Amino acid sequence: MSATVYYEKDADLSQLQGKKICVIGYGSQGRAHALNMHDSGLTVTVAVRPGGKSAKQAQADGLPTQPVDQAVKDADLIAFLLPDPVQPAVYRQFVEPLCRPGLTLLFAHGFNVHYGQIVPPPEVDVIMVAPKGPGKLVRDLYAAGQGVPCLVAVEQDASGQALAKGLAYALAIGGARAGVIETSFKEETETDLFGEQAVLCGGLSALLKTGFEILVEAGYSPEMAYFECVNELKLIIDLIYQGGLRHMRHYISDTAKWGDITCGPKVIDEHVRANMKKLLDDIQTGVFAREWVLENQANRPVYRALLKREAEHPVEEVGERLRSMMKWLG
Ligand code: NAD
Ligand code: MG
């Protein structure tokens, strides 16, 4: 079943006009949301840690700032644009005591609410507006009169206006110009985690490294292995981004196409499919979330150790050497 998509005509900015909007976190998303809402005529205050880097940045950008405890006070809408692992503590310290009818809590990713790391009381609205692109693009396209498509979701609708507020927010940051796709906290969280684990980050980096290792172990030079298994990915991805798989296949040779359609399923076989289903199962049952929450509570020992090991993989050393020959990369 296809999702409902909303556009500018479905959104009413007056839902948020004259309300106090507090943005906590001034990084990739926070800066873009705050600046776009400000330029859309909404009343935005950025909650900052006094003297911090983002406090200076927000002030340089001409936005009103306040320390977190003051900024959240009598806010009508609080946008959580902090790193996800930081949000629960900030919620408990500054926001939970203020929860009252009429308050809206807004998230750009569903993890904390879906997995119960933040449990807002029933009298507040809990919504999500999540742009499907990085903050810089959200800001740049808005400034150019366009927008990045967004997701909108309602977890709690105490006021009866939760969706309308979400659509107004999406309009104010430019997303409604492109389209706002309706989803749920559960669907956004689970599909986001699955995508990054199985395909975009986990699956892809393991695929590249394994291809590289097989060629090097077979005696081919690491330079050749790197070009063929890693570097050329950029060409392929750009073609898929532009026009899908069919467009990519239009530009590769017939030999590459034949290898693609006959050998791909031999790599991504039933065994890999079963592994992917297991990842999804761990996401759906909360097993992955528990592991990541506990890892953070333990100050990330496994995270640090594995990232260090990854950074020392030969594929990184060869890549660095080859990139130094590609001056245009800057
Ligand atoms: P980020 O890391 O770029 O920025 C986080 C900001 O929070 C920084 O300015 C940091 O200084 C500030 N911060 C950290 N701890 C703080 C504290 N205790 N008090 C006050 N400020 C604090 O984060 P981001 O990538 O913009 O992610 C924010 C949210 O948006 C997350 O929920 C994320 O999942 C979601 N999201 C991100 C993207 C993306 O492309 N980056 C896309 C969609 C959704
Ligand atoms: Mg993701």
Residue with tokens 């009598």: 74
Q: Which ligand 1 atom sits closest to the C-alpha of 52?
A: 11
Which listed residue (33, 109, 250, 271) is catalytic? 109
Section 184-202 average pLDDT: 98
Q: How confident is the model at residue 70 (pLDDT cuts 50, 70, 90)?
A: very high
| pLDDT tops 80 at residue 74 | yes
Whole-model pTM: value is 0.94
100, 76 contact by CB (below 8 A): no
Q: What average pLDDT does range 9-34 have in this prediction?
A: 98
The predicted model gives 236-251 an average pLDDT of: 97
pLDDT score for 327: 87
Report the pLDDT value the prediction gives residue 249, as an integer from 0 to 100. Answer: 97
Q: Is 88 in the pocket of ligand 1 (CB under 6 A)?
A: no
109 C-beta closer than 6 A to ligand 1: yes
pLDDT of res. 217 = 98
- 127: tokens are 């919504």
Q: Is 109 a catalytic residue?
A: yes
Nearest ligand for residue 33 CA: 1
Task: Give the strand order in the sheet containing 125-131.
Answer: 5-6, 180-182, 150-156, 125-131, 104-107, 77-80, 20-24, 43-48, 65-67
Given a cut of 80, whether residue 330 has pLDDT beyond it is no
Residue 1: predicted pLDDT: 83
Summarised one tens digit per residue, pLDDT across range 75-100 is: 999 999 999 999 999 999 999 999 99
